[in-house]
Amino acid sequence: MVRIPSLVAAGLVAALAATFTPIAAGAVPAPTAVALAQPVPIDRSRQMPAADRAAIDTAAAQYLGQSIDKTPGLWLAVWDPEKGYYEQGYGQAAIGGAPATTKDAFRIGSITKTVFATAVLERVSGGQLALTDTVRDLDPALARKYPAIAKATVKQLLGMTSRIPDYADAAVGIMVSDPQHSFTRDDLISLGLAKGKAIPAPGGYSTTNYIILGEVMKKVTGLTPEQLVNAVFRQSGMKQSRLPAGPNVLPSPKATGYSGELLTAEFGALSPSLTTTSDVGAWRMDWGKEGGGAYSNIGDLAKWGGLCLGTSLLPPKLATQRLKTTKIDAGNYGLGIIRQGDWLAHSGQAIGYEANVACNPKTGAVVALAVNSTYGMLDVNGAIGDAAYPAYAKAAGG
C-alpha cells in the first residue's frame, strides 16, 4: 500500500514555523524512470471466478472485524486481466445504517493530485506552459506576493521537489477545532509558508505545491482548478467523480466518514467531543481543493486505475517524463504519481476517509480501495492483500 504524508499525518499539530529556500535547478538527484506500456482495458463483463471472489469476501470480513482504526466500511475493486474483474462494498456505509455498496461516494484525498497533475500535463502538451516555467514566469503577481515560491518550476511543484513546506498539518489542527472553517488558496499557501516544517533536499511531500499550481493554472488557462479536474474526470468517463468548490458535500448514496480510533486518540485534547464514531463526513472540505478535495466511487476509481492514473491520456514522451521519479519521503515520486516496483500508484487521505489506486502498466492489473475512517488503510493491505491482489501487495511491501 502506498503510505505517504498525505492530508492527515502523524504529529499534525506539531508543525513548526519554517523558511523555504527554492531548490536550484540541477540540485535534485538523477530521477529514476519506469517502463511505460499501455494498460489492458478493464472488462467489467469478465467476472472473477466464484472461488476468488469468495476468498476476497472472507478476507474483507476478517479485516473489518479487526481493523485497528475501527473502520466500519471497505470498498474494493480488482482487475486481473487473467482472472477478470471484481468490485464490492463491505461492512457499513454508515454505522447502524446503510450497508456499503459499490455506488457509495467517498473522498479520495490526495488521489486528486493525480487528476490535477494530468490536467496540468495536458496543458503542457498543448503548449500553454512548460515544465521549466517558474511561478514568476507564469504568475508574476503571485510571485511578488510570495517571493519564497517565485523560483519554483512547474516540474518541481508537480514532483514535490520544490521544498515548499506543507500546510496540511496546521490545517487539520484548525479543522478539528472548527470543522466548518473555510480556507482560500491564499490562506493555505500562507499557512504552509508560515507553519509548515522545513523540507530538506531533494524534496518532500507537500500539498502546498498543488495549491500554488492551482493559482498558476487559473492565471494561465482562465479556468479554475475545479474546472480543470472535472474536465479530466469527464474525459476519463468518471461520471460519479467530482471536485466541488466551496463546502464540498458528498452526494448520496455516500459513505459516512468517521474519525476512527487513531485520529480520536491524537486529537482528544483539542476536541473533547470527538469520538471514534464521530461523523466527520459533513466537515467542510475546501481545505483540500486540487490537492485532496475530490470524491469518487469504487467503480470510477478503478477506471482511473485503468488509465494508470491519467498517464495513458498523455503523449508518450510526456508520459515518460511523468514517470521519472525522485526518492522523497513519499517514495519514488514522479509528477503526481508514485512508482512501487512495476506498479504506479497514489493514496489519498481526508479526515474520515482513505483511498488507494494502483495499476501495473506491464500486466494491466488494477487495484482500487477505500475505507471510511481516517487511518483505516494502515492494516488493510496485510489483511486482504494476499487474497485480493497478491502481486501488488508484494510490490507495496505489505
Query: Which domains can be identified in the chain, with CATH numbers?
Result: 31-395 (3.40.710.10)
User: Is the pLDDT higher at 269 or at 356?
Assistant: 356
Residue 382 CA, chain-centre distance (Å), reads 20
Spatial separation of the C-alpha atoms in residues 183 and 190, rounded to whole Å: 11
Angle (CA) 236-241-243 rounded to 5° is 110
What pLDDT sits at residue 41?
84
In this prediction, residues 296-317 reach a mean pLDDT of: 97
Place of cell 464514531: 277
> What pLDDT is stored for residue 270 in this prediction?
73
Return the biggest CA–CA distance within the chain: 61
Mean per-residue pLDDT, 279-298: 94
390 vs 159: CA distance, rounded Å: 28
Predicted local distance difference test score (pLDDT) of residue 282: 87
pLDDT above 60 for 287: yes
pLDDT of residue 55: 98
Q: Which residue has the higher pLDDT, 38 or 211?
A: 211
163 within 8 A of 203, measured Cβ to Cβ:
yes
Torsion of CA 204, 210, 216, 219, to 10 degrees: 180
